Amino acid sequence: MILKQLPLSQVKYLHANLDSIQQLNHSLSSIFKPSLKNFTQFMSAKGFLPEDHLVLVDPLLKFSPKLWVLLKGFGHENVSVYAGSESVLESSHQASSPSNYLSHPDPDRFVDYETMRSKLADFMTHEPIKIIDTREHHAWAGYDTSLDMGGHIPTSINIPHSQFFSKDTHTFIPQKDMIQLLAEKKLSLKDASPWVVLSDHGYSASSFILLMHSLGRTQKTALYTGNWIEWAKAKDSFIHRYR
């Protein structure tokens, strides 16, 4: 959920910034998903409980989508994004003591490398998936020979981040425009096929997943945890380039 104004009910705030991402992964790992242990330790140290309504404060909508996807994936259901002023963090009530956070991961929100590759290798024995890549088109297509890791996963659909998010206004495009963009890509919010989304490191892919959720597609949209950075480096992956 993306909030336009703060809720009246009791909530807890988390500053969605690079520091939060680093605390979760202990480093800017190329693999998007932290371990269950790291996630639980992070949430416990913040004093959060599974039933808390967490509001991720992020005026630029830069880091909050990634944190939102992580929280959802590890089973924290009540989480929202607030793109308003960070001043709310100064006056908000924050947990003062550590908690014993218990995580209940949702396996349908993440897809790992082996699962992705096996689905591509044999479409006859697996439920068909649609792969959505939110990198910019030149990187997806592999036109730029200076990009050693250019190219894309075969059958993937390219929906560049710049087509659904404005860096000037830090907002998503209007709902009707997004639905039209999906239609141009032969996609629909009501598509019964599972979607798997990736980008370079998961930031723009997470933005896409958050946007889809806000438009009503709350299920069957997962993040490929390794993203392109893992796929491009794997020795047995499939890569297509237009060169």
List pLDDT tens digits, range 219-237. 999 999 999 999 998 988 8
Q: Where is average pLDDT lowest: 7-21, 35-49, 81-95, 184-198?
A: 81-95
Q: What is the mean pLDDT of residues 188-204?
A: 94
The full set of domain ranges for the chain reads 2-105, 108-233
Q: What is the mean pLDDT of the chain?
A: 86
Phi, psi for 205 (deg, rounded to 5): -65, -40
Phi, psi for 198 (deg, rounded to 5): -145, 165
Identify the pLDDT of residue 19.
Answer: 84
Q: What is the mean pLDDT of residues 161-173?
A: 93
In the chain, pLDDT over 70 holds for what percent of residues? 85
Strand-pairing partners, residue 3, are 82
Q: Is the pLDDT of residue 190 over 70?
A: yes
* Superfamily name and number for 2-105: Rhodanese-like domain (3.40.250.10)
Identify the pLDDT of residue 27.
Answer: 42
Q: Is the pLDDT of residue 208 over 70?
A: yes
Give the pTM: 0.91
What strands lie across the sheet with 12-15, from one edge to the other?
2-3, 79-82, 54-57, 12-15
Strand 171-172 and strand 165-166: the pairing is antiparallel
Q: Is the pLDDT of residue 140 over 70?
A: yes
Identify the pLDDT of residue 92.
Answer: 59
Q: What is the mean pLDDT of residues 132-152?
A: 84
Phi, psi for 175 (deg, rounded to 5): -55, -45
> What six digits make up the tokens of 112?
């790992």
In the structure, what pLDDT confidence band is assigned to residue 1 with cuts at 50, 70 and 90?
low
Identify the pLDDT of residue 30.
Answer: 42
Residue ranges of the alpha helices (H) in the chain?
Answer: 18-25, 36-45, 64-73, 88-91, 113-121, 137-141, 161-164, 175-184, 203-214, 227-233
More confident residue, 2 or 190: 190
* Helical (H) or strand (E) element with 12: strand 12-15
- Could you tell me if 65 and 40 are in contact, meaning their C-beta atoms sit under 8 angstroms apart? no
Identify the pLDDT of residue 29.
Answer: 46
Same fold for the pair 2-105 and 108-233? yes
Identify the pLDDT of residue 78.
Answer: 92
* Superfamily name and number for 108-233: Rhodanese-like domain (3.40.250.10)
CA distances from 133 to 42, 49, 138, 161, 167 (A): 29, 33, 12, 9, 18
